Amino acid sequence: VLFRKQGKLPADVLAEGYQTEYGEAFLEVHADSLCEGDSVLIFDDLIATGGTLLAAASLVRRLGARVFEAAAIIDLPELGGSTRLQDAGISTFSLTAFALDER
């Protein structure tokens, strides 16, 4: 199931606003893409502030499905996204984590 930035999907969509590092954005998903009771792994390339994954999780729940886990290739833990996801009850997984200030 694709979650895309606003205006990229055809047909009926559900949208969710969220904060990015730079401002506000919207994420959309097809309104008929999930069924009640589905279990979903949400995946993104990067966890920074967690806003995109939290918006995706909200859309998953609005469609009646449940979030199994949020996963990413890279986590930037100093930006707090993983913590925000875990505080929202979403377990997280990343292949690697990078410190912003590596000396």
49-78 per-position pLDDT tens digit: 999 999 999 999 999 999 999 999 999 999
12-25 per-position pLDDT tens digit: 999 999 988 788 99
In a domain, 33, yes or no: yes
pTM: 0.91
Structural domain boundaries, residue 56: 3-97
In a domain, 103, yes or no: no
What is the number of structural domains in the chain?
A: 1
Burial 64-98 (b: 16+ CB within 10 A, else e): ebebeebbbeebbeebebbebbeeeebebebeeee
What are the Cα distances from residue 39, in Å, to 34, 56, 58?
Answer: 9, 13, 13
